Chains A and B, each alone.
Chain A
Amino acid sequence: MSDDLEALKTETDAALAAATDLRAWDAIRVAVLGRNGTLTGLLRDLGKTPPEQRRERGAALNRLKDALNDAIEARKSVLEDAALDARLAHERIDPTLPPRPRPSGLIHPISRTIEEISAIFGAMGCTVVEGPDVESDWHNFSALNIPSHHPARADQDTFYLPAQGDMPPPVLRTQTSPVQIRTMLTQPPPIRVIVTGRTYRADHDATHSPMFHQCEGLIIDRDLNLGHLKGCLTDFLRSFFGINDLPVRFRSSYFPFTEPSMEVDIGWNRRTGDLGRGGDWLEILGSGMVHPRVLANCGIDPREWQGFAWGMGVERVTMLKHGMTDLRPFYESDLRWLRHYGFNPLAPTMLHEGV
């Protein structure tokens, strides 16, 4: 490279190095590569070069042009980065500031439990059915083999509404079982349903609320027996509590609407409240083979169809699952309690995510 070209390169490099902002850098670029720039001038003057040197000088000028272009662009990049760094050095937020408030609400534990129960029995082919809170005496009692004088009626503290005409007074349903009756009257067997909802009994203390929730199931088919009842409820309890080897015990009992009837206990530790181990038994639900009279009251021939039913307290299983000790706050709507025990609405119960 001839000296003048060498000098231009050296000069330009030095100027670029001295440029500390983009304005200075742009002046250099214009001075070298601009319309009246030094390199532009040299290129223009190439025609004046003797022909025998022209080829060599042309090549040298082109190399110089590439080198200068690269140097100028490289410097631009450096200066831009520096300028950005300088700007960012002044752009600061306090990253510890709390974010803008977003709404976050909660699902009540009762709803959550009902969802979980529905998901598990749904996997066994049950659908969810519902019925009214205000029931006729027949649906709530008589059809379920609880005649008016039956001692079981005295055990249930029933809320009554004023009688209309000659009919017995309507009641607030004491159990979800009347929906079994409604189902059998409207849906021919085979039947697989669960019922969830509000139930009412005139009882109010630390362990009883005048309103509470039950979940009830009814399975009717031609050949389902007490072994299926045991299997179905054992499968449910182990899934619901998430304990694969949860001890489950069935013992004889009595309900007017089932025969044989059974109480179902699960194993737990009475002292610590831990489920699954501990050698103690805790009563958790009632069950039995549907009583022939209940089937017959709904027009189903017990010679042809049989099945089983069960019922449990939603609050009770919720308290056990989550280690809650007091029933009353379920209905008090205390925001602090709801925040403590409530569930994320966007993480609903789904079997494939785990109940």
Chain B
Amino acid sequence: MKFTLSWLKTHLDTDASLDTITDTLTGIGLELEGVENRGAALAPFRIAHVIEAVQHPNADRLRACKVDAGNGTVSVVCGAPNARTGMKAVFAAPGALIPGTGVTLKVGEIRGVQSAGMLLSAREMGLGDDHAGIVDLPADAPIGVSYASWAGLDDPVIEISVTPNRGDCFSVRGVARDLAAAGLGTLKPFQPARVPAAFDGGPRWSIDWAEACPWILGRTIRGVKNSPSPRWLQDRLISIGLRPINALVDVTNFFTFDLGRPLHVFDVAKLSGDVLTLCRGAGETMRALNGKDYTLTDEDCAICDAAGVQSIAGVIGGEATGCDETTTTVFVECALFDPVRISVTGRRHQIVSDARQRFERGLDAALMPDAIEAATALIQELCGGEAGTVTEAGAEPNWRRDATMRFARISGLGGADVPADDAVASLERLGFAVRARDEAGVTVAVPSWRNDVAAPILLDQSPDLNPTVAATAAAGCATIEPECDLIEEVLRLRGLDSVPPVSLPSRVPVPAATLMPHQVRAAVARRTLAAQGLAECVTFSFMAAADAAPFGATPEQLRLTNPIAADLDQLRPTPVATLAMAAQRNATRGYADVGLFEIGPAFALDAKNGQRAVAAGVRAGSTPRSWAEAQRGVDALDAKGDLWAALTAIGMPLDALSVTADAPGFYHPGRSGTVRQGPKTVIGTFGELHPRVLSKLDHPGPMVAFELFLDAVPEPKRRRKSAPDLSAFQPVRRDFAFLADTAVAADAVLRAARGAERTLIAAVTLFDVYEGDKLPEGKKSLGIEVTFQPRDKSLTDAEIEAAGQKVIAAVAKATGAMLR
């Protein structure tokens, strides 16, 4: 919402400075977006009379001038070709900053002639590019007067943002009312005189759809001459960014902003029949004033004459019946439309108009009769003509309602101690009328323009609520909400600085944990993965459906119906997908060796609420190149290492896990695994990415990845730990080499060995895996180290030998592997 300071002052009698006004606007909730004040830079420049301009005695291209700017005659040397005796020009005295050049003027001497000032071109004043000569003002321009104010350039343009609840402040008058209520002057009365009717005739209204249009007024003015508006009106509209069209249209635009009262004018000569009907649209197409065609639905309110739709009610008028310079009889529309329908229609047709903006926030019904009088008077003033009777259809709706506020609640809710008298006075300045008051509270009548206060209460309660609970809460809302509205008004006008801040009182001296156990697990996983050398990323939850498909299911239910771009339409099946793309982007930038991870959602229809919390990571390229260690490409077990580190850190007992070779399809089928707890619960996956996936990504590989499904990890049991078993006896370590079929899982050998003598075997580690020429076809060698931990006495050789035999037997039984 834009307006100029002088426009504001047509409604507000104030001597407050511009800064006070703008600060107050922001303080009372009409946030200042900006002030454009061209006049400020022009303040030092005055209109001057060039008494004499003669050839400079010592310079061909200069003129020596005698100039009167209201303070006596000064000598000025001027280089402009158009400087001439007797002209009116704009004069800058020494000390003035010239906006166009950034130079501050000084008294000087140019080739022997004193120059105590400057005559300015438009460019030097920062008013455009004209530098052909100095500004040549009309002969009647008053000497000594500020040029900016004479030219109307000293009127600051103020722009505020109006919140959706304050439709009344989409008008200069509404803003003035709020400022007056905040103590910045007084609101000037607005009581337009009735324009007597000279005749009875012209179009009539007929309402066929009362829900969309409860009340509408109209008035015919005939014998008008429609021409460009006078300068003051054009200046007003131009200053707020509107284009003047012609006087009749400009009047409607003026009142849209001045009173927040959109009007529409029909050229009566272009209407068919003498009835304008408000009805549902019926598929007709209308060309609007913006030159575009719109086809109306039965949910749009149309204004139709005998020939068809002539206006989309409250949103935009039709081109066919618009007013132009040929118009001699005009019909003014002043209506009340249903805000919701206006909003829906505007959105459906994607029409943004000043009228829609105001109608959809609700209008002041009581203002309509005055508004049509004011509009009639202004039209007559600008265009002449005689006015007919005011015609109407429907009736003024009952907008009158009361609201009650208990004074104690101003501090109880608002935290501010406001004397009751002050609170009531604030409300009265805003136009609320006191209907009853006692020690405890006040009941006020809500003014017609404040449809945001004590509005009808529309609840949308959860269907799962107990009916009694729901009814009690609804009754509470009906009591509290109007009071809240009034308290807000009182606090707003005083400024929220008047509310003293109070730190939140503690409910307990030391708060309990801020995070729930599963959130702690995510935090620990995050730190652990980062400590493995992975850089945490945040990638988008959505991606192109085609890019997502290789990584999992891409159901249509998880595809946006209005994506911002085609490559951001599908909710990702796994963060591995977006991380792999991130690794690819890094490779393109010249950083092929990366390790990335993310903790974020993976979307799937079978997941609770459609998503799973996943910690996922990728590694691509090679290990770091170093003098100390050989470089190698990343492999599946690097990813498994990351996954294992995270699982260990979050307290997952690794012994309880099994790994199966059935990882999702985006992994290499032979170099990947699924980590399970029991047969059903999948805890994670890891592996090398499938070569086909890599080639789609256009990544040279290798790239490996893992997923950890955080939601699948069971809540750790908080058991007290048993006492540690710290044997006093030395452990004994023995190595065994087994010859096994290549298909035998290493884990099976390790588990069998570990289980051979549970009380004695403390650890089993795999230290060697060999497949090659020295072994029979289809066989591999697995070297394990078994740690025997005696507990009550040292082991004898025979006991060690016997335990070793048990290991060999157990491994053979479980896997068929034989000691080499």
- Separation in Å of the A329 CB from the closest CB of chain B? 10
B476-517 Cβ-contact flags toward A at 8 Å (1 or 0): 110111001101100110011101111111111001111110
State whether the Cβ of B594 lies closer than 8 Å to any Cβ in chain A: yes
- Which B residues are CB-close (under 8 A) to A297? 459-462, 473
Q: Name the residue of chain A whose CB is nearest to the CB of B600.
A: A198
Stretch binding the partner chain, chosen from B90-98, B116-124, B625-633, B686-694: B625-633
Docked complex: B525-560 residues within 8 A CB-CB of A: 526-542, 556-560
Given contacts A132-B610, A226-B416, contact A204 B481 (CB under 8 A): no
Sample (27) of A-B pairs whose CB atoms are under 8 Å apart? A97-B628, A100-B626, A100-B629, A101-B623, A106-B535, A108-B535, A118-B514, A123-B511, A125-B506, A128-B514, A128-B519, A133-B611, A134-B609, A143-B460, A152-B164, A161-B559, A162-B557, A210-B540, A211-B541, A226-B413, A231-B504, A260-B491, A302-B476, A330-B538, A346-B527, A346-B531, A348-B523
Alpha-carbon distance between A293 and B601 when the two chains are bound, in angstroms: 32
Interface pair B165/A254, CB less than 8 Å apart: yes
- Which A residues are CB-close (under 8 A) to B537? 108, 333, 338
Given contacts A97-B627, A204-B564, contact A151 B530 (CB under 8 A): no
- Separation in Å of the A120 CB from the closest CB of chain B? 10
Given contacts A125-B511, A251-B496, A331-B540, contact A105 B516 (CB under 8 A): no
Q: Of A151, A229, A263, which is in contact with the most chain B CB atoms at under 10 Å from its CB?
A: A151
Given contacts A152-B164, A292-B484, A334-B586, contact A227 B527 (CB under 8 A): no
Residues of chain B having any CB pair with chain A under 8 Å: 26-29, 31, 163-166, 339-340, 343-344, 347, 360-361, 411-416, 457-462, 464-466, 469-470, 472-477, 479-481, 484-485, 487-488, 491-492, 495-497, 499-508, 511-516, 519, 523, 526-542, 556-565, 568, 571, 579, 582, 585-586, 589, 591, 594-597, 599-601, 603, 609-611, 623-624, 626-629
Pick the contact of A162: B480, B526, B556 (CB < 8 A). B556
- Which A residues are CB-close (under 8 A) to B514? 118-119, 121-122, 126-128
Alpha-carbon distance between A263 and B585 when the two chains are bound, in angstroms: 39
Given contacts A227-B416, A228-B415, A231-B501, contact A164 B507 (CB under 8 A): no
- Separation in Å of the A236 CB from the closest CB of chain B? 10
State whether the Cβ of A98 lies closer than 8 Å to any Cβ in chain B: yes
- Which B residues are CB-close (under 8 A) to A229? 415
- Separation in Å of the B346 CB from the closest CB of chain A? 9
Interface pair B476/A292, CB less than 8 Å apart: yes
Docked complex: A88-109 residues within 8 A CB-CB of B: 97-108
Interface pair B477/A295, CB less than 8 Å apart: yes
Q: Name the residue of chain B whose CB is nearest to the CB of A101.
A: B624
Q: Name the residue of chain A whose CB is nearest to the CB of B468.
A: A299
- Separation in Å of the A208 CB from the closest CB of chain B? 10
Interface pair A124/B502, CB less than 8 Å apart: no
Give the number of residues in A that approach B within 8 Å (Cβ atoms).
110
By Cβ-Cβ distance, the 9 closest A-B pairs, closest first, are A103-B533, A227-B415, A122-B514, A252-B29, A254-B163, A345-B530, A333-B582, A105-B530, A230-B501
Q: Of A102, A111, A230, A292, which is in contact with the most chain B CB atoms at under 10 Å from its CB?
A: A292
Q: Name the residue of chain A whose CB is nearest to the CB of B167.
A: A151
Given contacts A143-B460, A262-B496, contact A293 B481 (CB under 8 A): yes
A204-235 Cβ-contact flags toward B at 8 Å (1 or 0): 10000011010000010001111111111011
Alpha-carbon distance between A99 and B561 when the two chains are bound, in angstroms: 53
Given contacts A107-B527, A228-B502, A292-B477, contact A142 B536 (CB under 8 A): no
Alpha-carbon distance between A15 and B472 when the two chains are bound, in angstroms: 111
Interface pair A302/B480, CB less than 8 Å apart: yes
- Which B residues are CB-close (under 8 A) to A334? 585-586, 589
- Separation in Å of the B283 CB from the closest CB of chain A? 23
State whether the Cβ of A332 lies closer than 8 Å to any Cβ in chain B: yes
- Which B residues are CB-close (under 8 A) to A106? 530, 535-536
Pick the contact of A289: B464, B484, B558, B568 (CB < 8 A). B484
- Which A residues are CB-close (under 8 A) to B609? 132, 134
Interface pair B496/A223, CB less than 8 Å apart: no
- Separation in Å of the B487 CB from the closest CB of chain A? 7
Q: Name the residue of chain B whose CB is nearest to the CB of A265.
A: B26
- Separation in Å of the B345 CB from the closest CB of chain A? 10
- Which A residues are CB-close (under 8 A) to B501? 227, 230-231, 234
> What is the total of A-B residue contacts with beta carbons within 8 Å?
332
Given contacts A164-B557, A292-B477, contact A111 B601 (CB under 8 A): no
Alpha-carbon distance between A29 and B224 when the two chains are bound, in angstroms: 137
Alpha-carbon distance between A232 and B505 when the two chains are bound, in angstroms: 9
- Which A residues are CB-close (under 8 A) to B485? 259
Alpha-carbon distance between A304 and B475 when the two chains are bound, in angstroms: 12
Alpha-carbon distance between A133 and B601 when the two chains are bound, in angstroms: 8
State whether the Cβ of A190 lies closer than 8 Å to any Cβ in chain B: yes
Interface pair B28/A252, CB less than 8 Å apart: yes
New A-B pairs, 5, CB < 8 Å, besides A104-B533, A108-B538, A150-B164 = A159-B564, A160-B560, A161-B561, A292-B484, A295-B473
Q: Name the residue of chain A whose CB is nearest to the CB of B346.
A: A154
Interface pair A138/B460, CB less than 8 Å apart: yes
Interface pair A345/B164, CB less than 8 Å apart: no
Alpha-carbon distance between A101 and B542 when the two chains are bound, in angstroms: 35
- Separation in Å of the B561 CB from the closest CB of chain A? 5
Interface pair B540/A299, CB less than 8 Å apart: no
Alpha-carbon distance between A119 and B515 when the two chains are bound, in angstroms: 9
- Which A residues are CB-close (under 8 A) to B479? 302-303
Interface pair A299/B535, CB less than 8 Å apart: no
- Which B residues are CB-close (under 8 A) to A292? 476-477, 480-481, 484
- Which A residues are CB-close (under 8 A) to B361? 151
Q: Name the residue of chain B whose CB is nearest to the CB of A304.
A: B476
- Separation in Å of the B478 CB from the closest CB of chain A? 9
Interface pair B415/A293, CB less than 8 Å apart: no
Alpha-carbon distance between A249 and B31 when the two chains are bound, in angstroms: 13
- Separation in Å of the B354 CB from the closest CB of chain A? 14
Alpha-carbon distance between A224 and B629 when the two chains are bound, in angstroms: 62
Q: Name the residue of chain A whose CB is nearest to the CB of B466.
A: A299
Interface pair B515/A128, CB less than 8 Å apart: yes
Interface pair A169/B472, CB less than 8 Å apart: no
Interface pair B538/A110, CB less than 8 Å apart: yes
Interface pair B536/A299, CB less than 8 Å apart: no
- Which B residues are CB-close (under 8 A) to A291? 481, 484
- Which A residues are CB-close (under 8 A) to B557? 161-162, 164
- Separation in Å of the B570 CB from the closest CB of chain A? 11
Pick the contact of B559: A143, A147, A162, A262 (CB < 8 A). A162
Interface pair B504/A125, CB less than 8 Å apart: yes
State whether the Cβ of A32 lies closer than 8 Å to any Cβ in chain B: no
Given contacts A134-B611, A292-B484, contact A333 B460 (CB under 8 A): no
State whether the Cβ of A14 lies closer than 8 Å to any Cβ in chain B: no
Interface pair A226/B511, CB less than 8 Å apart: no
A295-309 Cβ-contact flags toward B at 8 Å (1 or 0): 111111111101000
- Which A residues are CB-close (under 8 A) to B415? 225-230
- Which B residues are CB-close (under 8 A) to A23? none
- Which A residues are CB-close (under 8 A) to B623? 101
Alpha-carbon distance between A2 and B574 when the two chains are bound, in angstroms: 97
